[in-house]
Structure 1
Amino acid sequence: MSVDINILRKDGLVLADSDETSILKGNLSDDGLHAAKLGGEGKTGFTEERDARTSILQINGYAPQKGHSTFPGFNWTVLTRWELQQAISTASTIRSSVLAIGVTVAIILMALGRWLATGIARPVEQMTTAVEGLATGDLSTRLAIHRTDELGRMGDAMNQALNAICRAVGTDKVNWDEAGESQAKLNSISRSQPVVEFRMDGTIVAANENFLTIFGYRSDEIHGKNHSLFVDEATVRSREYREFWAKLNRGESVISEFRRIGNGGKEIWIQASYNPIIDVHGKPFKVVEYATDITQMVHERAESTKLRTIVDESEAAFMTVNRDFVVTYINQQTKLMMVKYQQVFKSLWPAFDGSKLLGSNIDQFHKNPQHQRQLLSDPGKLPYKTDIKVGPLTFALTVTAQRDGAGNYVGNTLEWKDVTEVRKQEFINADYSGQIAAIGKSQAVIEFNLDGTVISANENFLQTMGYSLEEIKGGNHSRFVEESYKHSTEYRDFWAKLNRGEYVSGEFKRIGKRGKEIWIQA
């Protein structure tokens, strides 16, 4: 006689089977056993059905059980399955004893069901408590299931999973809503930023595609290697590098700009945060690095610093203003100029303070600021050059447009140059030039280098001497004197005086073209 006894979960999953070869192997409701479904609904009774695995017709008895008394909330179904032919044969043979046997079997089956349910309920109760704790963020529960069957292995697996989760999140208490939000943020960062993970000894565990792209490596080329792969030899041997890893091993985050070396020796600059991940015991067990490639920014900053140094050391006075005409930068020469002419500026603008020029608005220096604003509103009108009078001073002003990396018009550079004395001298020179021009129209005029080489001559001189300019230009003054005089001490003294810057005047005998004798007052 073959009788099979099962303990079923409400949904028909086999929790225990008197046939040890089939324990925890299937779901009888899913297999189509109607008795399993009815038992899961809390009903009691019998069905006549074929076994889904053997196709043998069976009588199935089912009845709900409350389960273990200390494990409320779970209902079990005790299911007995008896092959129909065997049941009929037995009934025919011992018809008179059917009632007694039925009662005895029922008692045995109920006792066996209670024993099986109790043996399964305790470990399942522990698992349920652990799972419920996991669902609410309590990861502190560990299972004490000392069994070698599937339940024991499930308990061991559950403990290992809980330990792994604790290590990953660094605590045994978790707010899953916050953790989910944090993980979403981390996933977003990982998609947009280079991310790499290290063990506490610097061994590379993983790196995302962004990191690999920037450094020019494949994952298999760096996995298992050390962080020092990305650092030059001098830095690896330095005290600073040892202290860097010492901080991380103490659980301290490190945030800064770092020079790193990519594949092929390529220099890479990153803004990075190295973040130790702490386990439930308060010890760091790995480091996660989040980086941003700032190589271009560092190079641009170095170039900007170089240019600013050049401007700072320039003899010209420079300042920059933004589109609101607020002063954003002044170089050293501008500061010196402000100090030098402080009193002049204060006489015109009583509130003027050269030490507070940075951050002030240049509108204060203009009688009609709107005129300057309109002029500088269109970068197409720049550069703009003009002279401006500031009391007794004259400044040459050059205004150029400033643009950012995207080509946007962001402000102006103003170059100031004190040309007060230059303009005075230019005025004097212009007066002299006018006088010389007037003289040139009425007198013979010729220019020489200090060695006597003819530079130029006006028309009056050329007509007097009978030459064209082409005939005498580049020649020497000596062509206009007699041969004997050219070699005389007097002629040498004449040029010696001129070379000393002395004025020479008098009447002179000169020789024109074809030996013509000419006397001049010069």
Structure 2
Amino acid sequence: MNSLSASIRHEDHDLSSIMLDAVNASFAAAEFDLTGAVVRVNDRFLSMTGYDEDEVIGNHHSMFLPEELVNGPDYDLCWADLRAGKGKRVVLPCVTKQGERIWVEETYSPIRDCRGDVTGIVRLGVDVTERHDKLSDLQGKVDAIEHSHAVVEFDVKGNILTANHHFLSVMGYDLSEIAGQHHSMLVDPDYAQSADYRAFWRSLAKGKYSARQFKRIGKDGEEVWFEATYNPVFNPDGSVKKIVKFAVDITGEVASLTDLKTTLDTSFVDVDRSLCKFDQNYENVAKVCHQAKGHLEASGMVAGRMVASVGESAQRMTELRSVADNVFDLVIEGDVAAVALENAIDALRDQAANTPALGRLIDNVDDCISENVRILTALRLDMKAMLERVAVVSLAVDKQGEITGQITSEMQGIETSIAASQDLLSGMQKVSEEMALAIGQTREASVVLAR
């Protein structure tokens, strides 16, 4: 009997030792007294927190927690429950010796003596920082989707399981009005009876994803448009568990596109009419410019002849003025010679006063000289008048040259303007072609909008 009892006690001891080894291998373990002071810790706990054993024994549990948690209202209540014998399972942030914050999934269990009184608290913890960070990131994404999207969940048959506030607000329903109802209550009745609609739900039930723009009918009977995705959610065995819809309300954008299409459709006739008128005006302007270019070429030829004629006339006037100047100089010299002859005749007449025959010859010579003087005087007057007229004509020819030069310059300016106009016309034609292309593309866009 004693041997049996000893054997049982030995086996119990071995089992307890095995269990303790398993706990130490799997958990960061710590024991606290009823005040929260650390009594003992295992190596896994020290490794997780970064402390040495002598740095934690005797110190309070709060040294491992952030200040905001220790100073919070729940911390003292938690320890009151533990002292009362109530266990706790929580996920808490833990501050390591290096000040790093980690997350620990902890189980707090009261330790009882043989009378059932609580004598201490044992804590078993597992570092779940990586899992917590992933869950926090996932939860953040879910919260962001909930905030910005209309979310609805369906079973595989299309019955509504739940919907978020955003979806309910857009559609005008309360959750109690649609939970348990079929998705078909949200679509056009004709579409709900169609083969396409039944095929849509069969496809989702098979695990196929769907994404596009969907028209739905709100509680007030008005159209609501969503840019939505229907996403199958799978069980571990690969079967479809449910369908989750994520949607963005695009009713305003669709209404704007519809108004734009209507405006485009009503404006196409006016645009076509304007383009035809533009093309007609282009043809007329091009014809006028062509005619102007022909006239300019003819005018250029005339101006060229005018310039050549004026240049030739100026040359002739220059030559004539030179000849007239020479003649005038000769006439002046003749006058001087005549005066000298008259003086010589007077002297001869004085010498031949007593010779009648010689006096008559002298008189005849004097008469000839007088006639010559008269002719020279008339010639001088005529040449003087001629020089004056040549001067006037030369001035007129020079003036005509200036005018002709101005005409030539203006014609060159006109030619430049016409060339520029032709460039503009080419640009107008290109713009017309581009405008016609743009109108064609706009029409294609309008057809797309109509879909």
Normalised by the shorter chain, which TM-score bucket?
A: 0.3 to 0.5
Q: Which has the larger radius of gyration?
A: 2
**TM-score for both structures, normalised by structure 1:** 0.41
- Larger RCO, structure (CA 8 Å, separation 6 or more): 2
Task: Determine which structure has the larger strand proportion and give its number.
Answer: 1
Task: Determine which structure has the larger helix proportion and give its number.
Answer: 2
**TM-score for both structures, normalised by structure 2:** 0.47
